[in-house]
Amino acid sequence: MIEEQTIIAVMPETLVAETRKMRDQGYRLVQICVTRLGEELQLDYTFDLNRKFVNFRFLQPKIGARVPSVSGIYWCAFTYENEISDLFGVQVDGNALDFKGTFYKTAMKHPFIQDAAPASVPAPAKPGDK
């Protein structure tokens, strides 16, 4: 085991208050991450203080996920929040610097909640064909 990783379940409603507590204790926001679990999205907010790892976690539905922004507490959260709204379609309320879906210029909307396209890598060219 490299390190202890504490995972705490929070509610979207209490997220902002809990995050403020972390900031007051001097934690650093490490990342915000979304994982698709079937029809649900799992949101992770990771904090670190002197290499002590704390993670907040809650679930949201795949379509119509909505979370409050923590960018009022950690301004740097704007990058992560734009990322999750562009790639996963999570609506973030009150982002300090909202790019409105233009942070990543992707060909399709919310690519990371789409199902994987069936054909994977094109088969290698057979000898003779160009």
Partner 1 sequence: MAFFQMKKMILAWTFRKPITTKYPFEPRKICPGSRGRLDIKISDCIFCTLCAKRCPTQALDVDRENKKWHIDRLRCISCGYCVEVCPKKCLNLTGDHGIPTVTKDMETF
Partner 2 sequence: MGTRTIIPFGPQHPVLPEPIHIDLVVEDEKVVEAVPSIGFIHRGLEKLVEKKDYIEYVYVAERICGICSFIHGQTYCQGIEEIMKIEIPTRAKYLRTIWGELSRIHSHLLWAGLMADAFGFESLFMHTWRVREQVLDLIEATTGGRVIFGSCKVGGARRDIPPEQMAWLLKELEVIEKEMRLIVDIFMNDNSVKHRLCGVGVISREDAILLGAVGPTLRGSGVADDMRLLKYAAFGELDFEPISKTDGDSYSRCAVRCSELFQSVDLIRQAAAKMPAGEIAVKVTGNPDGEFFSRVEQPRGEVVYYIKGNGTKNLTRFRARTPTFANVPPLVKMLAGCELADVPVLVLTIDPCISCTER
Residues in touch with partner 1 (CB under 8 A): 121, 123-128, 130
Nearest to 69 by CA among 32, 107, 113: 32
Handedness of CA 12, 16, 21, 27 (dihedral sign): positive
Residue 112 has which token pair?
A: 């990371």
36 binds, among partner 1, partner 2, none (CB under 5 to 8 A by kind): partner 2
Q: Which segments within 5-122 are labelled E, that is strand?
A: 5-9, 28-37, 40-49, 52-61, 66-68, 91-93
30 binds, among partner 2, partner 1, none (CB under 5 to 8 A by kind): partner 2
113 binds, among partner 2, partner 1, none (CB under 5 to 8 A by kind): none
Backbone angles phi, psi at 34, to 5 degrees: -120, 140
Min. distance of Cβ 120 from partner 1 in angstroms? 9
In the complex, which residues of this chain contact partner 2 (CB under 8 A)? 1-3, 5, 23, 26, 28-31, 33, 35-37, 44, 46, 50-51, 53, 55, 74-76, 78-79, 86, 97, 99, 102-106, 111-112, 116, 120-121
